[in-house]
Structure formats: structure tokens, C-alpha cells
Amino acid sequence: DIASNRYTESWKVTVKNMYWNSKIQGYEVITENTYVDLFEKVENDKEIDVDPKTLDWFIYPTSFDPWSRKLYGKNGLLQRENFGTSWLGKRLSYLWEIRSKQDLFWPKTWKFSTPEIYLFAPQLLLDLYPPKHDYSQDLKAEVLPPPDPSQINAINSSLDNVISAIQGPPGTGKSQTIAALVEEYFTRNLKKKSGRIKILITSFSYAAIRVIIDKIRHGKDIHKNPTKTSKLQMIFLRSQHQEPIKSEKGYRGIDDLVRYGNTWKLNDESRSVTNQKPLDDSLEESFILFANAHQLYYLPERIRDENFAFDLICIDEASQLPVDYLMSSLQYIHKFDLEVVNPDLAKNSEVRISEKDEIANLAIKTEIDKELLTKLVIVGDYNQLPPVQPVDPPKNLEMILESVFGYYVKSHGIPNSQLKINYRSHQDIVGYTSLLDIYKDLKPSPKNATRTLNGTLNNIKVGWVKKVMDPKYVVASLIHNRKYEIGVSALESEMVVRIVRGYYEMLSPRNKKEEIEFWKDKVGVVAPHNAQGRLIIRKMYDQMKDTQLDSSELMNLLKSTIYSVEKFQGSDRDLIVSSIGISDRDQLSAESDFIYNLNRFNVLTSRAKSKVILVVSRVFLDYIPNERKVMEQAANIRRFAYEYCNIIEDLEILNENNTKEKIEFRYKS
């Protein structure tokens, strides 16, 4: 145990920042101050005769996060299914030139298991079963709401290919598409598989899993009858920190499976799942399991059948899921050893491969019906936010450290079908998303294309707020001329609080229930930095003297209404207000990658159903970053504020000091 080792204790450091330096192909590490001078320790160590300033320093973690413990060790995922030792994995790192030592030996065998092929060489399966050109044929399952043409195309593609992707831009009904896909798969395969169908739905967050459970559970066909899959056994495998799914009258209950330490419980019954009574005994012939990667890691503890496998695995939020989390799901695919054609140039395993071309184009030799293989469907959008990482990955490792969705779609080129109808937002909001040119043929649903804010505008007491909150101004920006703010803007916080307060007055919640609904569903405030968010929360709290909630309840609701873009991903509100909070050029330069990130801005604007307001400094909009990519992203944000919001009016407001200050109000005509 390194933490209890007295010798190593004096060598421990706390990492403050890490920056990738491409010149040295390594990280520059900045640590917090230490009580011991480590350079002096090296100089005083008789066994080390190297200048500490030229010495190669290695940093080892003294503790692991919960996921790292599932990767490494005797029973880690890297020890399962050849994930950590696969020659195909070594081949991939060799082809992508990301090995620490760029050399590779020929394999000892040309037979590889399906889990390692799915993870490291999906192209082999694509070449064996080439995608079709047309996936517009009608679906067999007739569900409500009927899938639109782009959803039909995505479902048909997913069920034809072994590995495929569905790209869901904001508001395009990803969860509903997954529910329809599951129903279609079950309908097509019920007879083929003799009524024995096993489906896994997994996601990065429990919130997304709960949404899909709800969609499938309440599924109806065109005759308003329950869908086939709504009547299947559904098991929610959760951590002990999550609540079970509540039962609902008229709908099948969701079986609750939870692991407490080394003990498992099914539906809160003691000794319901043990070594002697495995989970297999409680599973029906067809079922759907819902679980995240952490819980799937433990599932083999209570499965007796060595050939246990899912026929369909669907991964939601794949653009937020790190690639290594995928191994938790791939240990449950149908397992076959498939032989790869031995290249003419192949030699024995003691000979190095001399050129990448020698192994770049491999092919599977084994003939196998693709219906015997597990279908893997990944659902996400690489134009939204990737997994949160403590340190930005080196450029050459982005393709494997970015996300499951980016890994398969951008790096491996698996078939990818984009959804094209936005069911969430007003046409002006969808129009800006389309202008970004990151999605193909994105259109608003006619049903919501003209949706605007409800409420009584004349209830708003402050004149300029009444002007800004006019429902017909769907897309708007408020631009001020402050300078030198480095993450906290008192002016912006004052403006945001006045706007939110104005919306509250518009709706005038009549009781506690309506006020809770206001904070949970009607309004959202996005601030890139927590400090700005906290300032807005404090000011908003002080403004709510007429609240119908107790103080702790109000504060908790404010904290779930005002936060960062990352936490808003996957949700929506009628009104979204964003405060950037920076007007200092040096600060903008220091964090330009973060603050001008187009994916972040895409998520921000696309959360709004009926209105989006950007509160920002002119310095932020006019600043031109040095890096070309960031410069292009900043230009798109500038286009939103200056061009898309094309009508200009000057407003006079009372600032945080209760003095008059002029701002520019811009909105789309």
C-alpha cells in the first residue's frame, strides 16, 4: 500500500495542472508546494548520480477512481476477453501510431474472438457484411408516435448492420427512436429466435436510462394497445445510491436489481440472487436489462451460464461515454472465434512487421450468419460535449480517449444515420443550429416550429425586461461594454436575475406545485464558470421574497436551475439564459479552447424550446483567438450575436450599483 509506505510518503506530490507538450511528447506537470525539496532528495541520494533537472521523472497515482479499479488488477476488464492482450489492439495502436515504441510482431494465431474484433477491428465485420444503400423500407412494428423517415432509416440501418450508429442532434427524439428500435428488433426476431431475446440498454447516466425505461414501459401501438416490449420483463440494475423505479398502475413493474457490497438483492428480497441461486433463475425467456458500465462489470458474479449473451446492445449517450467503458458491455456479446485471412507476407510471431500496409487490410475468413452475432447500436452526437476528463488528451490520442461515439464513427467509419427532425425547439432556434453546418438537413417539427413562451407579458414590472421577454423575440443577445471581468460579472448576474424574475412574473405561479414546475421545467440558466453560477444563485435567492417554497427547497431548486452546460446536456427548458461572465482579453486568451468551444455553445442554445438569450460582453464577441480551429468556433458564436440576431435596439438598464447603464439588445427579425 503506497499510502502507508513511509519511504514513499516523502515523494508524494499533488498535481495542480498537467499540460501536454508536443515538443517533448510528454506532459509538463505543475504540482502544489511540497514540504520536501525533491531535487535536494535526489542530490543527496548516493544511488542516483544524475542531475535531477535532467532526470526522467515518473508519476504514479497513489489512489484510483472507482472505474480504474475495474480496469486493472486480477479481475479487471483488461484481463477479460483478451481486451488487454489482444494482438488486434496492438495492431490498431501500431496503425494509428500511438504505441510508445512503434514496432509490432506477427501474431501467434490468426483466430480472434468476437469481443476483441468488436472493440479493435470493427471494419472486419463491415467488410464481411457491407451496408446497404437504401434503408427506407417500412417497419414491421407500428408504434406511436410513428417514426419519421430519418428515424425509420436509422432503425433499419441499425438492425441490418452488426455495428452501427445513430446520430441524434439536440431534440431529435433519440430516446423515442431507441424505444421504437427495440420494439422493431423484437417484432422481427420473435419467431427467428423462438421467443428467446435478450436486450441490453446501457448509458453513461442513470437519468438517460430512466428516460428509456419510461419510453418502453409506456409504449403504445397505432391501436393504442401496449407494445410487445412494454410487456417484457425489464430489470433495472442499479447502484445502492439510486432509487428503484416506482410501480405504476396498469403497467408492468420494473424488477429492481441492486448490489450491496458483495450481496445482491432482487426486488428487495434477501438471498434472492446468490452463488447458489444465480440471476439466471429469475430471468424470463425474453427480457430487457438496463444498467451502466459500473454495474455491468459486476454482473458475472451472479450469472451461471458461461454462454450468457445479449442479442441486441444499445448504448445511449455514447458521445459522453469513454471508450474503455465499452468493455463492460462487450463481455456480453455472442462469442465466436473467427479466423482472419493470413496475409501473404505474414511470418512467425518472432518477426517484426516492417510496414503498416502489411496488416492494414485484413479480412475475416470464417463464414458465419450475421444474425448469430450481437447487434451493437451506439446512439449519440459528437457535436455535443464529450466525456469530462481531468486533463485534455494529447492530440494523437483523442481518437481513443474522446468517446465511444467518436471512436466508432469518426475513427472506424461505422455506418452512421443522422436523425433530422427537431421536436423540441422553435424554428428560429433550429435555424441557428442548421447554420452551424454540423448537421445535414436538420428541420423543425411542424408541431413545435412556432412554439413561443406562455404568460402575461404585462405582469413584468421592469420596462427593459418586458421588452426583452416579448415571446416573439425567440433568439436574442444582450451585449454590454464592460471590460476586465475574469469569470464573474456582477452586471451580467444582475441582468440574468432580472430576466428570470420577469419570466416568473409572466407566469405568476399560483401555488407551490406550479413554482416547483417553474424552476424544474420552465427556465434554465447556463454559466460556464461555477463562480458566476453561484453569484446568480445568491442574487436570485435574495430576489424571491414572495416565494411559496421554504428556504432550503428554493435553494435546492435554484442549484438545479442554474449551472454549467455539461449538467444541462440531455435536458431542456422553455427559456434558456446564458451568462458568459468574461470580458478580459488575457483571460479569454488563457481559456479560449474552453470558452469558445462550439460543441458547448451548440448544447447551450439547443436546450431552449421557446426562447434563448445570450448575455455577453462585446470584448468576448470581438476577441479573435490565435488558434485557427478556435478562431472558427468563435466566429460562429459571433455570428449568433451579431448576424443571426440582426435587429438592434439600445436599452438603458439599472446595473448592480443601481445606476443607469446602456446595453445593446439584438434579436432575430
Residue 227 or 5, more confident:
227
Q: Is residue 237 located within the same domain as residue 327?
A: yes
pLDDT score of 116 more than 90: yes
Q: Is residue 530 located within the same domain as residue 403?
A: no
Dist. CA 355–CA 648, nearest whole Å: 61
- Which CATH number is 169's domain given? 3.40.50.300
Q: Is residue 344 located within the same domain as residue 480?
A: no
pLDDT tens string 491-509: 999 999 999 999 999 999 9
pLDDT of residue 65: 76
Lowest mean pLDDT among 16-25, 294-303, 421-430, 443-452: 16-25
74 found inside a domain: no
68 found inside a domain: no
Q: Is residue 42 located within the same domain as residue 106?
A: no
Q: How confident is the model at residue 31 (pLDDT cuts 50, 70, 90)?
A: confident
Q: What is the DSSP letter of 518?
A: I
Q: What is the DSSP string of 311-359?
A: SEEEEETTTSS-GGGHHHHHTTSPP-EEEBP--TT---TTSB---THHH
Instruction: Check the CA dihedral 597-602-607-611 and report its sign.
Output: positive
pLDDT of residue 37: 85
69 found inside a domain: no
pLDDT score of 557 more than 70: yes
Dist. CA 122–CA 650, nearest whole Å: 57
pLDDT of residue 3: 39
Lowest mean pLDDT among 6-15, 292-301, 432-441: 6-15
Q: Is residue 492 located within the same domain as residue 554?
A: yes
pLDDT of residue 399: 81
For residues 137-160, average pLDDT: 97
Dist. CA 8–CA 36, nearest whole Å: 12
Dist. CA 220–CA 225, nearest whole Å: 5
Provide the domain limits for residue 321: 94-419
pLDDT of residue 2: 38
Q: Is residue 480 located within the same domain as residue 382?
A: no
71 found inside a domain: no
Question: φ, ψ for residue 504 (rounded to 5)?
Answer: -60, -45
Q: Is residue 23 located within the same domain as residue 131?
A: no
Q: Using an 8 Å Cβ cutoff, are 487 and 581 in contact? A: yes
pLDDT score of 85 more than 80: yes
Q: Is residue 114 located within the same domain as residue 3?
A: no
pLDDT score of 389 more than 80: no
Number of domains forming the structure of the chain: 3
pLDDT score of 664 more than 90: yes
Q: Is residue 410 located within the same domain as residue 491?
A: no
pLDDT of residue 62: 65
For residues 564-581, average pLDDT: 89
354 grid coordinates: 516492417
pLDDT of residue 4: 40
pLDDT of residue 20: 58
Domain boundary among 419, 437, 452: 419
Domain boundary among 387, 419, 451: 419
Region label for 34, one of left (φ > 0), alpha (ψ between -120 and 50) or beta (otherwise): beta
Lowest mean pLDDT among 82-91, 379-388, 410-419: 379-388
For residues 391-396, average pLDDT: 71
pLDDT score of 22 more than 60: no
Residue 38 or 295, more confident:
295
Dist. CA 183–CA 177, nearest whole Å: 10
Q: How confident is the model at residue 10 (pLDDT cuts 50, 70, 90)?
A: confident
**Largest Cα span, the chain:** 84
Q: Using an 8 Å Cβ cutoff, are 234 and 254 in contact? A: yes
57 found inside a domain: yes
Question: φ, ψ for residue 354 (rounded to 5)?
Answer: -95, -30
pLDDT score of 41 more than 90: no
Radius of gyration of the chain (CA): 28
Q: Using an 8 Å Cβ cutoff, are 170 and 603 in contact? A: yes
70 found inside a domain: no
For residues 102-129, average pLDDT: 96
For residues 564-577, average pLDDT: 87
pLDDT score of 19 more than 70: no
Please give the model's pTM, rounded to 2 decimal places: 0.88
Q: Is residue 141 located within the same domain as residue 160?
A: yes
Domain boundary among 419, 435, 464: 419
The three-state DSSP-derived secondary structure of 202-261 is EECCHHHHHHHHHHHHCCEECCCCECCHHHCEEEEEECCCCCCCCCCCCCCCCEEEEEEC
pLDDT score of 444 more than 80: yes
For residues 127-145, average pLDDT: 95
pLDDT of residue 562: 94
For residues 226-242, average pLDDT: 97
Question: φ, ψ for residue 266 (rounded to 5)?
Answer: -110, 120
Q: What order do you get walking across the sheet with 287-291 strand by strand?
A: 269-273, 263-266, 255-260, 233-238, 287-291, 198-203, 312-316, 375-380, 163-167, 416-418
Residue 491 or 384, more confident:
491
pLDDT averaged over every residue in the chain: 93
pLDDT tens string 173-198: 999 999 999 999 999 999 898 889 99
313 found inside a domain: yes
Q: Is residue 570 located within the same domain as residue 622?
A: yes
Residue 91 or 22, more confident:
91
pLDDT score of 165 more than 50: yes
176 found inside a domain: yes
pLDDT tens string 267-314: 999 999 999 999 999 999 999 999 999 999 999 999 999 999 999 999
pLDDT tens string 574-586: 999 999 999 999 9
Lowest mean pLDDT among 72-86, 205-219, 279-293, 612-626: 72-86
For residues 614-632, average pLDDT: 96
Q: Is residue 268 located within the same domain as residue 402?
A: yes
For residues 143-155, average pLDDT: 98
